[in-house]
Amino acid sequence: EAVKKSHDLVIIGGGPGGYVAAIKAAQLGFDTACVEKRGALGGTCLNVGCIPSKSLLNNSELFHRVQKEGAMRGINIPGEVTPNLGALMKEKDKAVKQLTGGVEMLFKKYGVKYYKGSASFIDEHQLKVDPIEGGEEAILDAKNIIVATGSEATPFPGIEIDEERIVTSTGALSLKEIPKKMAIIGGGIIGLEMGSVWSRLGSEVTVLEFQDAIGGAGMDAEVSKNIQKIMSKQGMKFKLGAKVTKGVRNGEIVNVEYEDGKSGKTETLDADVLLVAVGRRPFTKGLNAEKIGLDFDKKGRVVIDSEYKTNKPHILCIGDCTFGVMLAHKAEDEGIAAVEYLKNGFGHVNYNNIPAVMYTHPEVAWTGQNEEQLKEAGIKYKTGKFPFLANSRAKTNQDSDGFVKFIADADTQRVLGVHIIGPNAGEMIAEACLALEYGASCEDIYRVCHAHPTLSEAFKEGAMTVFGKPINF
Ligand code: FAD
């Protein structure tokens, strides 16, 4: 017999969007529940996305450094340096467990009721919870509902995923052995991050990208070209303009066929593992949302207004399953804003200032607009670039690939975009986000004292470069 419960707010999905919304709502005094069917909180991000990928990226980079640069950096290593895949994976699983467990503790701390199961609409105000192990069957009555059901890997027509030899990012995060050869369909951020991991561990990695540039939407063209050069130097191979036509498993090998963009010829490629990383699509299966008449667009995204309200105004939607970039911090900020709209009638997310980070080495990070977008909008701008080669800390660390590129309004110097390739670019971009949010000009930035010797001096000198001259270059 299903228990009947009522709550002020029920959130469907415990990913970065849902769990952050749940905690914020509880903090603001709502009687809040969150339904999650995965068996762990944290969603894609904590379980099979951001966190496990960063664990593998961080440790494979350390391995690579010790192996390739140990001698140069004064580290004596008797014998051969080899990866221990089992230990690497264990460390990754530990990070995931600690963080997902941490969210569950936060739910207890703030009094969010956690239902372990799958939620579906009975009607506009009632949800049915089909329990998973450890959960209870329940009927929930809710004044407000937030849909935060996230996304899933987009399938590639004709290619069958087995998560063993032909994998999505989820399989690529848990390979049982290091492939000798790995082919990747899609040179976007996820493909390039996973490619970096396995390339550092010894795989021969080939990226097949349909577009004529890597990095995906939003990456500045100059940045894309440069990071491709750097990654090629690291040993990754790129086939741009490649149209994949086939990917089939043949025993322990995957046969891949693609049309070369330039020659138009069909080429073949054999790999031990094929990673399909052609993007993600909204996930709303099993919600029974059609029954209550929720509005979807052609891409399967839940249609919302500027206050995250669906066509049923008491039902809101945030994160990957609605409009916008599919990033964890975007989902989180929407979670907070949506709850604030419910509580106070206002909230804030600046969609012109959502940072994107690719955690390769060096990292790539940007926020605001890129040159291509500004040209298209007919906005006059100036750019300034400062290379890490001229930054004392990067030089000292012998880690000086990349640059900080500023794009600013030609008349006012107001910062419109910042694009960085470099060590720790993902941390540095936070400074650019503050600058954009506060409407800073380049002069505002270069009059702020930055500590020496730090990488952040390259940020300051990048700003100086737009309307004057830097000191160190
Ligand atoms: P999700 O995290 O997908 O969470 C939705 C949750 O809802 C899921 O746990 C699902 O089980 C649950 N759910 C769905 N339907 C139901 C239902 N009917 N009942 C109950 N529960 C349900 N983003 C970054 O910002 N930085 C990164 O470094 C990064 N790296 C990534 C690496 C990889 C390999 C991948 C795949 C993604 C990465 N992302 C990254 C993207 C990030 O994971 C997503 O943008 C983020 O998880 C979206 O959050 P969300 O809350 O909208 O959805």
Tokens for 264, please give them: 């138009």
> Tens digits of per-residue pLDDT, 187-243?
999 999 999 999 999 999 999 999 999 999 889 999 999 999 999 999 999 999 999
Residue 204's pLDDT is: 98
**Separation between Cα atoms, residue 88 and residue 176, nearest integer Å:** 11
* Phi and psi, residue 12, nearest 5°: -100, 110
Q: Check 7, 125, 361, 452 and give the catalytic one.
A: 452
Q: Can you give the pTM of this predicted structure? A: 0.98
Indicate if the pLDDT at residue 262 is higher than 90: no
CA of 359 to the centre of ligand 1 (A): 18
Burial of 352 (0-12, 13-18, 19+ CB in 10 A): exposed
Question: What is the pLDDT confidence band of residue 405, given thresholds at 50, 70 and 90?
Answer: very high
**Separation between Cα atoms, residue 447 and residue 463, nearest integer Å:** 10
Residue 199's pLDDT is: 98
Indicate if the pLDDT at residue 185 is higher than 90: yes
Tell me: is residue 400 an annotated ligand-binding position. no
Range 455-471 burial, b when 16+ CB lie within 10 A, else e = bbbbbbbbbbbbbeebe
Question: What is the pLDDT confidence band of residue 257, given thresholds at 50, 70 and 90?
Answer: very high
**Separation between Cα atoms, residue 292 and residue 422, nearest integer Å:** 48
Indicate if the pLDDT at residue 472 is higher than 90: yes
Q: What Cα–Cα distance (Å) separates residue 236 from each residue in 55, 167, 220, 263, 340?
A: 20, 19, 20, 22, 45
Question: What is the pLDDT confidence band of residue 96, given thresholds at 50, 70 and 90?
Answer: very high
What is the rounded average pLDDT of the residues 306-326?
98
Ligand 1 test: best mutation among 38, 47, 50, 92, most atoms within 8 Å of CB? 50
Tell me: is residue 104 an annotated ligand-binding position. no
Indicate if the pLDDT at residue 314 is higher than 90: yes
User: Which residue's alpha carbon is nearest to atom 40 within ligand 1?
Assistant: 50
Tokens for 326, please give them: 């599919």
User: Which residue's alpha carbon is nearest to atom 50 within ligand 1?
Assistant: 150
With beta carbons less than 8 A apart as the criterion, state whether 200 and 60 touch: yes
Of all atoms in ligand 1, which is nearest to the CA of residue 16? Answer: 51
452: annotated active-site residue? yes
> Tens digits of per-residue pLDDT, 452-465?
999 999 999 999 99
Mean pLDDT computed over every residue of the chain: 97
With beta carbons less than 8 A apart as the criterion, state whether 181 and 169 touch: no
What is the rounded average pLDDT of the residues 255-264?
94
Question: What is the pLDDT confidence band of residue 261, given thresholds at 50, 70 and 90?
Answer: confident
Of 199, 107, 271, 125, nearest in space to 116 by CA:
107
What is the rounded average pLDDT of the residues 24-41?
98
Indicate if the pLDDT at residue 1 is higher than 90: no
Give the rounded percent of residues in the chain with a pLDDT score beyond 90.
99
User: Which residue's alpha carbon is nearest to atom 35 within ligand 1?
Assistant: 49
> Tens digits of per-residue pLDDT, 410-462?
999 999 999 999 999 999 999 999 999 999 999 999 999 999 999 999 999 99
Tell me: is residue 101 an annotated ligand-binding position. no
Of 28, 29, 23, nearest in space to 11 by CA:
23
Radius of gyration of the chain (CA): 24
CA of 83 to the centre of ligand 1 (A): 29
Residue 338's pLDDT is: 98
Q: What Cα–Cα distance (Å) separates residue 201 from each residue in 49, 178, 198, 275, 395?
A: 19, 7, 5, 16, 26
Q: What Cα–Cα distance (Å) separates residue 424 from each residue in 102, 313, 442, 458?
A: 26, 42, 21, 12
Of 392, 321, 280, nearest in space to 148 by CA:
321
What three-state secondary structure class fits 390? Answer: helix
User: Which residue's alpha carbon is nearest to atom 23 within ligand 1?
Assistant: 327
